[in-house]
Amino acid sequence: MQDFILALPLLLLGAGTLTALAFSRSGWSASRLGWLLSLFALTSFLLILYAFTLVPSGKALTFTLPWIPSVGLDFSLYLDGLSALFALLITGIGTLVVIYAGQYFGGDASAWRFHAYTLLFMLAMLGLVLAGDLITLFLFWEGTSISSFLLIAYKFKDEAARKGAFKSLFITGGGGIAMLAGFLFVIHLSGGADFKTVLASGGFLRASPLYPVFFALIAFGAFTKSAQFPAHIWLPEAMTAPTPASAFLHSATMVKAGVYLLARLNPALGQTDLWFWTLSIVGLTTMLVGAYLGFKQNDLKPLLAYSTVSQLGVLVALIGQDTEIAFKALVISILAHALYKSALFMSAGIIDHETGTRDLRKLGGLRRQMPLMFGITGIAALSMAGLPPLFGFLAKETLLASATHPSLPPIVDSLFPLATVLAGALILAQAALAVWGVFLGKPADEKHPPHGHDPHFAFWLAPAVPAIISLLIGLTPVEPQFLVEFLADAAKAAYGDKVKISLALWTGINVPLILSIVAVTLGSLLFWQRERIRAWMTDFLPNFTTNALFDGTVSGLDTLSRTATRLQGGRLRVYLRILLLSAIVLVVLFNGIPRQISLPALTWNIEGLNGLRMFSLVMLTVSALVSVFVRRDLYAVIALGITGLGVAMWMALEPSPDVALVQLIVDILSTVILILSLSLIPRKLRDRANELLHSRRGMVRDALLAGLAGLVVAGLAFTALNTRPRESVVSPFYAENAKPLTGAKDIVGAIVVDFRGADTLMEILVFSLAGLGIYTLLHYATRKSSDRTREEPEKRLKPNTPRGVFNLPTSPMLHTLAYIMLPLAFLLGITHMMYGHDQPGDGFTAGVIISLAIAQWYMLFGYYETRRKLAWLNRNNMIAAGLTLAVLNALGGAVFGGGFFSPVDYGRMLRLPLPPGFYLTNSFLFEVSIALSVMGAATLILDNLGHPREEDLEADADLAALEEKQ
Amino acid sequence: MNTWLLLLPLLLPFAGVPLTLALRKRRKIQSALALGLMLAALASTFGLLRAVLTTGQPVSVQMGSWQVPFGITLTADPLGVFMVLMSQIVLSAGLIYSLGSTEKVVQYPTYYPLFLALAAGLTGAFLTGDLFNLFVFAEIIVISGAVLTAIADDTYGVEAAYKYFYISTLASVFFLLGIGSLYVAHGTLNLADLAARIASNPSAPLTMTGMAFLTATFLIKSAAFPFHFWQPDFHAAAPTAVSAMLSSLVVKVGVYAFFRMTALLFPEVTLLKTLLVGVGVAGVIYGGFGAAGTHNVKRMLAYSTLAQIGFILVGIGWGTPLSLAAALVFTFNHALVKAAMLMLAGAMASRAAVKSASFEVVVGVGKYYPFAGVLFLLGGMALAGIPPLNGFISKLMIFWSGVEAAQYVPLLIIGVASIVTLTYVTRAFIRIWFEPNPKAKEKAGDRLLAPALLVLLSLLLGVWAEPLVSLSQWAAAWLGDPAFYIAAILR
């Protein structure tokens, strides 16, 4: 359980983040909060230090928590030399950065946000290097991307900050996705995500034919994160982040994540030609590009950023080598770079903070005003330049030693040292440029020299610590044994074999030293001729940048996006056409295109084709054709209605009277609804739509499509008739059991309310919803806007003169008809409900018949008169009652019968005297509930479509109340 | 007892329709009742899940006690109960959002009845074991969704609903043709019975035709490319609480049907699976670019659904145990996240100067609402598949199953598309919360409780993913062996 100590620093940093959030409204100054929060970071540092003493040399400490055991994923932590090196840098520099940030933001009470982001970032970064498996590593990897996005966008009012943040997230996030895919390949092949398994299956992984794929994916992720050419462009723009963030993210931590990953996986994936060439080429290119671009800069932060890019290139190139010395150089460079670069960034922040600018053209001559900063910056810059006796010198010496290692293949063996010397010279010149530009040279504008003075202790302490450590490591006469062992451990984990480390600066006169002298000389020359060279550089390839790649990608994405949205043209006809065609394609695709179409021999069986059937067929066909070709929509609707009648007639002759009856009623209802709807559309619009509909091209296209669809359906029907199994599975059961089990003579009735009653229950809900929908749409939604005419109250109460639809007067004879029709309809409806089980007709037909009779009232008497005369007719309540009754009725089956929806004969149960042929069963009650809800919904539809502009007192009150609320 | 656990999740919202309709003049009681019923349904769904888990068998009930296949079967098998659980969680959140919404539409007397009808339709669709009954539930969903969108405050609601309704009617025709074909070929409508009969006589005429029509139907329902045309308008114009349901749950009915089709009804047809992968990949590309190209947050999220459904279809199409589990995890997580994101988009739109989700209007509105910003950022991370949010688990599993199934080309495409997701989500976040807008003012708007709950749940399911993943694996294992399902129903 002592391994739990590995999780403690992470928990602590999490607690730190929460603490920062908790202090958001405390009004604490940034500096005070910084001191408090630095304790979290410092304790983490000490904990890791302590944990590392528990690690047996060359082994690792692990902590595993099952995370998603069902797919074999753990949350695991892992501490060995390599992770310890990074973890200590992160928490150590992190502690300093938190204190420093406190000073940087001073009394700013809103900087808790910055502190929270920093702690969150530290947590993610620490988790990344402590992760014990690839998935855990990825979790934290993405965490660093997100938290650095927040840090870069900290000053989000600044457009550059937003752009920089987006760019960094886009590039590192994209890399992350590739990397995740690469990881999954590795996990799949090696059979586990944890590093022990992965590192142990190195040989197998390298031999896999997929090796180039996952190597490329992982390397891509690492390169984007570690700002390798050509993905380095996000790093300089990320300098819009406040300086404390830059000092932390872009010197010691985030950008090193890719380096860490490559080093970590080197024993498993490295030592191949692909690995060597990719890492060497990318690394060396990045080194040169970074060094070259850095020398052009005038702003301190981008200058430092480009030198970081260059240094990251060095590290990547070193990991590519398969030599012991390269890994010695790697660990020394990591440490040296983290120390001097964080010191330099923090110093740059102080200079900016104190003088108000970071521009080298405005600065100069500050050595007298800021002697302390001059000292700190000077030491760090010397280390960056790689001059003795600083730690940076050692880093450069070992780098040169590995660049001239005899195992390098030809061409590389000369290019590598050459590039290193060149880059070294450029970096040296940059270091000189920075120190000279700020402290030594004269300010460009003599009249307005920069003002500033050394800050107070806590502020300069942060950069001083790493700078002094750089100096101490170089100066100490005896090699600090613990450091040597520590670095050797780290190098061994990355190299996979023992690495001998020595920290002696003087190793005698050898090739690296000579090259180093060459580099220093060259660098000094560059610095001496800096004006001329920098002027030349601005002219030569002035716009040299790979930003075009990023911009191109993003604008390409945007172009494709616009194309994609343009496909969505908004025209329903086009959509329907595509859908119909696609469906036809699917049918053909799944059936396969038949090699030969062989129609079975058709035998015309005209026995059953009597006169009536002929008539219904002709009626059907002719009216269908008319509905297509007739020019006026009203006639088309009527023709369509006749088609429906033809179908009903055919069904009646089949004979299937139930279907015929329902078809008849539905046909009438839908025709009425369609005509009413048409009447709501202004005549002009309708005429224009008719014209458009009958354009020649449109007709041809639609005819083709309709023909095709018709063919498919005809083929389907034809096959169905020819292949139908004569013995259906369910029909015989229904035929046999309708009477004995449900008491229904009519099989259809039994199916509708008993065997498949649940379907019916849901369908009446659908019908009710349609009614409610039309009601709400016409009475609320379309009237809510302010263009609704508000009439005077007295005008609203219309006189009682019966006025029909469209306010036309209606004749008394029609009134009499309506008076007679309604009771008749009720009588008819009630018989349908009572005997629906034995005869055609059921609750649905009953409901529609009654509502059609009521609709006639609305037509003839108008809205107000009908409401007055039929005051009992509350449609909404009727729907509610019908549906409630239906549910209760189904529950009744469960209480009194065998189960939910089971048949119950209440009449027999209660021994009620009932008319013959009528049974008070729950089937009957179901019919009643169907009738109620259908009646409610159908009257809602008919009434609302018929009288859309009439006032509705209930809705008006609601809408008025709503408007008051707003 | 188990029978009631199965019936209640469906019955409670269904009975809620007439009850809330009767209470339409008492808005406070009406809305409280709606939420209460939904939460009760959710609780019984948990009970149902427990029952299915402890018995290790599907819970099923025959409506009216008619034996299989003559009556209608309701079945809670692992897949069904999984989908219902997802729906009811999100639906409850939707009702919570409605309660705190400032839109006019939630004040209409029929809003809650319609919402509960949608809930009943969704629950029923996932629980029914009968093909025709599924059709009926799909109709409930269509009509309630269409009406709720038509009555939206957004003036485009009617147009969007009209298009949706037309296209859904076409889908219904396809559905009926598909059901008819299968009925002709095999003489039964019960899913288990049908599956057994198709397995014993796969070459019965019209079987393939039926499958083709069902495929077309569910491609429309799940809004897969190129059957998606209705979706962006429809999801963007709906009232916020409703659009959150439409984009997270309603399209999942189609997805659910593909689980059933590939695993139960037509497990041997590889062409169907290949088609799903193809359609899915196309959707991933089209939806991603579409989302990046829109000028409206809600519309962006609607397009994003298109892409995310694509991911799920790819997972179903690969058809391995891992990819099916991945598709299920994806389905669940996407529902939570998409609902939360649409609610957040709607909540910000309600605080904009003019009520609109167009970027031009909502730009900079986030300034006064950092909490909403945190939620949106977390939700966006989940959408883009960034840990520790649940979306990462979805992405991880789908990628993993692709690697395992050696499906490199689709994997490459969906990988690249993930970057597009990251792009549009980040841009939306930057626009609403980071860009300055002098016109933005502090203003009362829709409450943020519902999206906060959903985001919290997303976070929880990202950090503690085991329950969902093991549940999905269990459901996927059931899918892998249709014989179990058939035996459990036809016993």
- Nearest-by-Cβ selection for A772 from B7, B110, B381: B110
B447 vs A181: CA distance, rounded Å: 39
What was the pLDDT predicted at A862?
A: 76
pLDDT at position A804 is 65
> pLDDT digit string (tens) for A316-332?
999 999 888 999 999 99
Out of A143, A575, A591, name the one closest to residue B208 (CB). A591
The contacts of residue A424 (CB under 8 Å, 6+ apart) are A386, A396, A400, A516, A519, A520, A523
CA A900 centroid distance within chain:
43
- Number of A to B CB contacts under 8 A, please give it: 340
Q: Which of A165-169, A251-255, A308-312 has the lowest average pLDDT? A: A251-255
SS3 A66: strand
Q: At residue A662, what is the residue type?
A: V
The C-alpha atoms of residue A319 and residue A264 are separated, in whole angstroms, by 10
* CA-based nearest distance A784→chain B, Å: 8
Radius of gyration, CA atoms only, chain B: 21
**Residue A792 reports pLDDT greater than 50:** no
Closest-approach residue (CA) in chain A for B133: A759
Phi, psi (5° rounding) for residue A62?
-130, 150
Cα A736 to Cα A730, A744, A750, B184, distances in angstroms:
10, 11, 11, 20
B112 vs chain A: nearest CA distance in angstroms?
12
Please name the residue of chain B whose CA is at the shortest distance from the CA of residue A966.
Answer: B102
CA atoms in the 13 A half-sphere facing the CB of A695: 6
Q: Is the per-residue pLDDT at A16 higher than 90?
A: yes
φ/ψ of A803, rounded to 5, equals -125, 135
Contacts of B434 in chain A (CB under 8 A): 153, 156-157, 162
Residues whose CB is less than 8 angstroms from the CB of residue B473 and which lie 6 or more positions away in sequence, other chains included: A70, A71, B321, B325
DSSP H or E stretch at residue A793: helix A793-796
Residue A244: count other Cβ atoms within 10 Å of its Cβ: 29
CB-nearest to A765 from B3, B140, B396 is B140
Please state the φ and ψ torsions of residue A486, each to the nearest 5 degrees.
Answer: -60, -50
Neighbours of A866 (CB within 10 A): 24
Distance CA B357, CA B336 (A): 20
pLDDT higher than threshold 60 for residue B77: yes
| A139 chain-B contacts, CB cut-off 8 A | 387-388, 392
Q: Are B102 and B50 in contact (CB under 8 A)?
A: no
The sign of the dihedral angle between the CA atoms of A603, A609, A614, A616 is negative
Does residue B208 belong to the interface with chain A, where contact is any CB pair within 8 Å?
Answer: yes
Q: What length does chain A have?
A: 966
According to the model, what pLDDT value does residue A606 have?
A: 67
Instruction: Give the tens place of pLDDT for each residue, A707-718.
Output: 999 999 998 888
Does pLDDT of A602 surpass 80? no
Q: Is B292 on the interface with A (CB under 8 A)?
A: yes
Is A538 exposed, middle or buried (CB count within 10 Å of its CB: 0-12, 13-18, 19+)?
exposed
Write out chain A residues lying below 8 Å of B433, CB-based.
156
Every domain of chain A and the residues it spans = 280-546, 607-719, 727-966
pLDDT computed for residue A266 by the predictor: 93
> Is B423 part of the contact surface with chain A (CB cutoff 8 Å)?
yes
A793 has a pLDDT exceeding 60: no
Which residue of chain A is at minimal alpha-carbon distance from B160?
A: A570
Instruction: State both tokens at B414.
Output: 């969906």
Mind listing the pLDDT tens digit for each residue in A895-919?
888 888 888 888 888 888 888 878 8
What is the structure's pLDDT at A796? 45
Structure tokens at A714: 């005809």
* pLDDT bucket at A805, cuts 50 / 70 / 90: low
Cβ proximity of B344 and B372 under 8 Å: yes
Q: CB under 8 Å to A51, separation ≥6 — which residues?
A: A5, A6, A61, A79
C-beta atoms of B71 and A557 within 8 A:
no
Inter-helix orientation angle B2-22/B78-99, to 10°: 30
Q: Which of B386, B411, B437 is the mutation pick for testing A, counting most A CBs within 10 A?
A: B386
Contact B271, B328 (CB under 8 A): no
CA distance A199 to A794: 89
The per-residue pLDDT for A36 is: 93
H or E element that contains A290:
helix A273-294
Q: Once rounded to an integer, what is the mean pLDDT over residues B380-385?
A: 94
User: What is the predicted pLDDT for the residue at A412?
Assistant: 81
Q: Is the model's pLDDT at A798 over the cut of 60?
A: no
Measured from the Cβ of residue A72, the count of other Cβ atoms closer than 10 Å reads 12
- Asked if B172 and B139 count as a contact pair (C-beta separation under 8 A), the reply is yes
Beta-carbon contacts of residue A480 (< 8 Å; ≥ 6 apart)? A473, A503
Within 10 A of B308 (CB to CB), how many other CB atoms are there? 30
SS3 A798: coil
In this complex, do A586 and B215 lie within 8 Å of one another by their Cβ atoms?
A: yes
Tokens, residue A828: 């008819």
**Which residue in A178, A768, A880 is closest to B22 by CB distance?**
A880
- Cα dihedral B124, B128, B132, B133 in deg (nearest 10): -40
pLDDT digits (tens, 9 = 90+) for B220-243: 999 998 899 999 999 999 999 999
Chain B touched by A579 (CB under 8 Å): yes
In this complex, do A781 and B151 lie within 8 Å of one another by their Cβ atoms?
Answer: yes
Task: Tell whether B162 is within 8 A of chain A (Cβ).
Answer: yes
| Phi and psi torsions of A64, nearest 5° | -125, 135
Q: Which residue has the tokens 């498949």?
A: A756
Per residue in B36-65, pLDDT (tens digit) is 999 999 999 999 999 999 998 899 999 888
Disruptive mutation site among B28, B403, B426, B435 for chain A (greatest number of A CBs within 10 Å): B403
Of the two residues B124 and A731, the one the predictor is more confident about is B124
**Interface list for A 301-330 with B (CB within 8 A):** none
Q: pLDDT category, A544, cuts 50, 70, 90?
A: low
- Looking at the structure of chain B, the number of domains it has is 1
Element (H, E) at A67: strand A61-68
ipTM: 0.95
Q: Is the peptide bond before A409 cis (omega within 30 degrees of 0)?
A: no
**Residue B309, both tokens:** 């459904």
User: Which among A180, A555, A940 is the top mutation candidate for probing chain B, defined by the most B β-carbons within 10 Å of its own β-carbon?
Assistant: A180
- For A106, the token pair is 């001073």
> At residue A385, what is the residue type?
A
Q: Which of 848-887 (A) contact B at CB < 8 A?
A: 876-877, 879-884, 887
- Nearest-CA residue of chain B relative to A884? B18
**In the predicted structure, residue A155 carries a pLDDT above the cut 60:** yes
**Contact between residue B93 and residue B247 where contact means Cβ atoms under 8 Å apart:** no
Chain B residues whose CB is inside 8 A of the A173 CB are 384, 386, 419, 422
Of B140, B294, B381, the CB nearest to A762: B140
SS3 A849: helix
Residues 6+ apart with CB under 8 A from B195: B264, B265, B482, B485, B486
Q: Is the pLDDT of residue A790 over 60?
A: no
Residue numbers of the domain that contains B236: 2-490
The three-state (H, E, C) secondary structure of chain B, written as one string: CHHHHHHHHHHHHHHHHHHHHHCCCCHHHHHHHHHHHHHHHHHHHHHHHHHHHHHCCCEEEEHHHCCCCCCCEEEECHHHHHHHHHHHHHHHHHHHHHHCCCCCHHHCCCHHHHHHHHHHHHHHHHHECEHHHHHHHHHHHHHHHHHHHHCCCCCCHHHHHHHHHHHHHHHHHHHHHHHHHHHHHHCCCEHHHHHHHHHHCCCCCCHHHHHHHHHHHHHHHCCCCCCCCCHHHHHHHCCHHHHHHHHHHHHHHHHHHHHHHHHHHCCCCHHHHHHHHHHHHHHHHHHHHHHHHCCEHHHHHHHHHHHHHHHHHHHHHHCCHHHHHHHHHHHHHHHHHHHHHHHHHHHHHHHCCCCCCEHHHHCCHHHHCHHHHHHHHHHHHHHHCCCCCHHHHHHHHHHHHHHHCCCHHHHHHHHHHHHHHHHHHHHHHHHHHHCCCCCCCCCCCCCCHHHHHHHHHHHHHHHCCHHHHHHHHHHHHHHHCHHHHHHHHHC
- Residue A711 CA to residue A580 CA, distance in Å, equals 13
More confidently predicted of B279 and A872: B279
- Chain A residue with Cα closest to B400: A184
Using a CB-CB cut-off of 8 Å, the residues of chain B touching A560 are 289, 293
Q: Name every residue whose Cβ is closer than 8 Å to that of residue B240 and which is 6 or more positions away in sequence.
A: B97, B101, B103, B298, B342, B343, B345, B346, B347, B349, B350, B446
At residue A809, the 3 state secondary structure works out as: strand
Say if B419 is an interface residue toward chain A (CB within 8 Å): yes
In the predicted structure, residue A758 carries a pLDDT above the cut 50 = yes
B365: which 2 tokens? 């509105």
Q: How far apart are CA A153 and CA A167, in angstroms?
A: 11
Query: CB of A925 within 8 Å of any CB in chain B?
Result: no
